[in-house]
Amino acid sequence: MSKEETKKQYEGTFISNQRGFGFVEVEGMEEDFFIPEDYVGPAFHQDQVKIQVIEGREGKRTEAMIIEILSHEITTVVGTYQKSGNFGFIIPDDKKITRDIFIPQGKDLHALHNQKVVCYLTGYGDLRHKPEGIIVEILGFPSDPGVDVTSIVRTFGIPTAFPENVMAEAEEKNEPVSKKDIKGRLDLRDEVMVTIDGDDSKDLDDAVSLKRDGDNYILGVHIADVSNYVTDKSDLDAEARHRGTSVYLVDRVIPMLPTSLSNGICSLNEDEDRLTLSCIMTIDPKGKVVDYKICESVIHSTRRMTYTNVNRILEDEDPEVIKEYEEIVPMFREMANLAKILNKRRTKRGSIDFDFPETVIILDEKGRPTEIRPYERRTSNRLIEEFMLLANETVARYACEENLPFLFRVHGTPDGEKITNLSHFIGNFGYSLKGDKTDISPKEIQRLLNNIKDTPEEDMLARLTLRSMQQAKYDVECDGHFGLAAEYYCHFTSPIRRYPDLMIHRILKEHWHGKLKKRRSAYYEGSLPQIAVETSKLERRADETEREVDKLKKVQFISSYIDQEFLGVISGITKWGVYVELSNTVEGMIPIVSLDDDYYEFDEEHYCLVGERTKRTFTLGEPLRIRVVKTDFDTRTIDFELAERKKDKGGKKSFVKSRKGKPLKKKAAIKEKDRKRSSVSKAAKKHGKKSAVKSGKKAGSRRKKSGTKKGNKK
């Protein structure tokens, strides 16, 4: 690094790490800066800071030191109150906040020891003093129903209660559709159309209709006209922008809009008139949109359908369900045919489908998890997905043709360096990526995913491939969507739960009514870039909150099974242990020191662990019988250990995957394991590049110290 480079200064966001060091994210830069512990100073997590580049180690991330704290972003902290005489401390739930918060005498709101609380920061501390605060809210004890999830929600700063003025405005808007409202709209109330959502969904923001015109399909995607009720610069609009998105958690929904709107007049409820924006597309037999119309409309939903019942019609051919909905069953069958055509066309152009199983978590009345299972996307889910994707593309194309100020959903071409690293890694498994790594095509990623399908390494390589992609975001430029291989794309179909969709509706309507003049266009051109940045961040916050709640519930669930044994498959391998995933998607780690009485080395070339004495290997996709050892609610991690292979008691099935991804019975599973172990052992004997990480009860001084690493990294 040159002397000139070490003089460079930047401003960015400090991201703390519980081990003392941190990173600074600078807007517009692909890679963040590493801040060694000695150069962190008194910086607090999420502070806006000024940094100066320092000379770092060759081949490592660029290092910098914090030279000035510009502002503090975090104002409240959620944690566990520890009372100590007349004062107390709060141990933050967010482990990135590395110091306890001091609570002076009389500032504890009479909180009890070990209660979850929210404190307002009155000081951020320095190198000699702890941060200081006052308790402003008591959430309750961790064991109280709902407190665990509420703590996570509050940690991420997600607002839950609506201000009184916002609630009052929502109530005023919740009026039945009138003749005045309908005037000038396309009247589709006599059209047969349905909503298709989850069994428990209450905010129904899209309905679909389908009919034939000769060989062509006429597909209608009808979206709730939320912009009719949430107007620009209103209190409702300000609150919706502040939230950015609804947050869907296992025990609750935190809506973007008050429920009187989201579940009321804006929800496309069965047998009720509703105001909508419709995208009506004429599609030829090959799935090409040959004509379309986007307009304001009014609909009257024929039936409120669920994914479950549509699957019973299309997949199970359940006679009772078919009889109940016999008048619209033919439409569902046509929809299924059209969805297949659209998917085939999308796949042909290179659209990438990361088909990771979602998780269903069932809770009892006290919020305790009673069941966890994978949730598979079935015909009805894919049907709606294809229709919504097509509507979003069509609206985005229209916006570009009309040269409107707009919010697009963009997904850029992956960074060339990340793709190069991915290419090197998958080469260890015999796979490759062809062509220019700096300008990889979606079809090449699609080809890789097809090649790894139904292999033991599929899940891990697919996740690594996903991590090599850029994050999708909102932008005012229509730069295309790499993952969908789409030239045009936006979010139009969910204005009840996403603020960008609401903005798009507002812009479209102003354009149709001739209000998008020079002054108004300038207003949008000035405000949309900031809205794009804000909503992208709020979306990531919601996603992270949902993941953390799911992780906590999985830890709570498996904590009831301490010392019990299960069959799982190896889902990841690291220098410090192996990750094992159970059939219900719960994942834990077997630390390398707990594998068995041997010294294990990480074979980087063949991506496996190899026993020095026994030559035993641990490879991806290998079935393992594990025992649950411990769980940690604070870090949301699970520790397993190897269990002796015993026959399943009570005739229970073992959910072990073969190379084809199908469940194997016990004997078949062991044969599959032996086959893979044998092939990898032969390969491992030839390997030349090894890591010196050791394990085992007799490792002693030969074991290289690398620190304790916990966490469910996927």
Q: In the structure, what pLDDT confidence band is assigned to residue 677 with cuts at 50, 70 and 90?
A: very low
pLDDT tens for 511-548 read 999 999 999 999 999 999 999 999 999 999 999 999 99
- 685: confidence class by pLDDT, cuts 50, 70, 90: very low
Neighbours of 305 (CB within 10 A): 22
Distance of CA 307 to the CA centre of its chain: 21
11-20, 241-250, 368-377, 590-599: which has the minimum mean pLDDT?
590-599
Torsion of CA 77, 79, 81, 87, to 10 degrees: -30
Distance CA 36, CA 39 (A): 5
Fold agreement (3-71, 562-702): yes
Angle in degrees, 0-180, between the axes of helices 518-558 and 147-155, rounded to the nearest 10 = 140
d(CA 713, CA 573): 10
Q: Of 355 and 270, which is predicted with more confidence?
A: 270
Q: Identify the CA nearest to 405 among candidates 324, 234, 523, 533.
A: 523
Please give the share of the chain, as a percent, with pLDDT higher than 90.
75
What is the architecture of the domain spanning 76-141? Beta Barrel (2.40)
Is 164 a residue whose pLDDT tops 60?
Answer: yes
pLDDT at residue number 643 = 87
Please compute the mean of the pLDDT values over residues 225-238 and round it to a whole number.
Answer: 97
Q: How many CB atoms lie within 10 A of CB 418?
A: 18
228 pLDDT more than 50:
yes
Query: Based on C-alpha coordinates, what's the Rg of the chain?
Result: 28
Summarize pLDDT for 174-186 with one digit per residue, the tens. Answer: 999 999 999 999 9
pLDDT reported for residue 56? 61
Q: What is the structure's pLDDT at 681?
A: 39
The CATH number assigned to the domain with range 3-71 reads: 2.40.50.140
Structure-token match 């969910």, residue found = 494
- Look at residue 493 in the predicted model and tell me its pLDDT: 98
Overall pTM surpassing 0.75 (yes/no): yes
Q: Which residue has the higher pLDDT, 179 or 669?
A: 179
Q: How would residue 124 be classed by pLDDT, with cut points 50, 70 and 90?
A: very high
pLDDT tier at 192, thresholds 50, 70, 90: very high
The arithmetic mean of pLDDT across residues 144-172, rounded, is 95
**pLDDT score of 128:** 87
Asked if 357 and 376 touch (Cβ cutoff 8 Å), the reply is: yes
**What was the pLDDT predicted at 697?**
33
* Segment among 52-56, 212-216, 508-512 with least mean pLDDT: 52-56
Summarize the confidence of residues 280-300 as an average pLDDT.
98
Over pLDDT 70: what percentage of the chain?
88
Cβ neighbors of 492 (< 8 A, separation 6 or more) are: 223, 277, 279, 391, 392, 395, 396, 501, 504, 505
Structure token digits, residue 235: 């209190």
In the numeric block, which tokens belong to residue 471? 């994050």
Q: How confident is the model at residue 684 (pLDDT cuts 50, 70, 90)?
A: very low
Report pLDDT digits (tens) over 372-427.
999 888 999 999 999 999 999 999 999 999 999 999 999 999 999 899 989 988 98
Please report, for residues 94, 161, 242, 246, the alpha-carbon distance to residue 158 in angstroms, rounded to integers and kept in the order given.
Answer: 14, 10, 10, 10
Q: Of 103, 110, 109, nearest to 87 (Cα)?
A: 103
| pLDDT at residue 664 greater than cutoff 80 | no
Using alpha carbons, select from 473, 348, 456 the residue that is nearest to residue 410. 473
Q: Reduced to 3 states, what is the DSSP secondary structure of residue 585?
A: coil
Asked if residue 370 lies in contact with residue 362, where contact means CB atoms within 8 angstroms, the answer is yes
> By the 8 A CB rule, do 557 and 549 touch?
no
Which of 665, 646, 648 is CA-nearest to residue 657?
Answer: 665
Average pLDDT, the chain: 88
Which band of pLDDT confidence, cut at 50, 70 and 90, is reported for residue 5?
Answer: low
Confidence at residue 184, expressed as pLDDT on a 0 to 100 scale: 95
Give me the pLDDT at residue 59, please.
53
pLDDT band at 670; cut points 50, 70, 90 = very low
Q: How confident is the model at residue 580 (pLDDT cuts 50, 70, 90)?
A: very high
Is there a contact between 679 and 689 (Cβ–Cβ < 8 Å)? no
Domain boundaries, the chain: 3-71, 76-141, 164-172+181-411+476-550, 416-469, 562-702
Q: Give residue 134's pLDDT.
A: 97
Residue 182 C-beta-side C-alpha neighbours within 13 Å: 12
CATH number for the domain whose boundaries are 562-702: 2.40.50.140
Average pLDDT over every residue of 223-235: 97
pLDDT at 669 over 90: no
pLDDT grade, residue 706 (50/70/90)?
very low
d(CA 375, CA 28): 37
Q: How buried is 454 (Cβ within 10 angstroms: 0-12 exposed, 13-18 middle, 19+ buried)?
A: exposed
Q: List, for residues 592-638, the tens digit of each pLDDT value.
A: 888 877 888 888 777 889 998 888 899 888 899 999 999 999 899 99
- State whether residue 44 is helix, strand or coil: coil
Question: Which region, left, alpha or beta, applies to residue 4 given φ > 0 means left and ψ of -120 to 50 means alpha?
Answer: alpha
Q: Grade residue 458 by pLDDT with cuts at 50, 70 and 90.
A: confident
Q: Give dist(CA 390, CA 280) in Å, integer.
A: 11
250 φ, ψ (degrees, to nearest 5): -65, -25
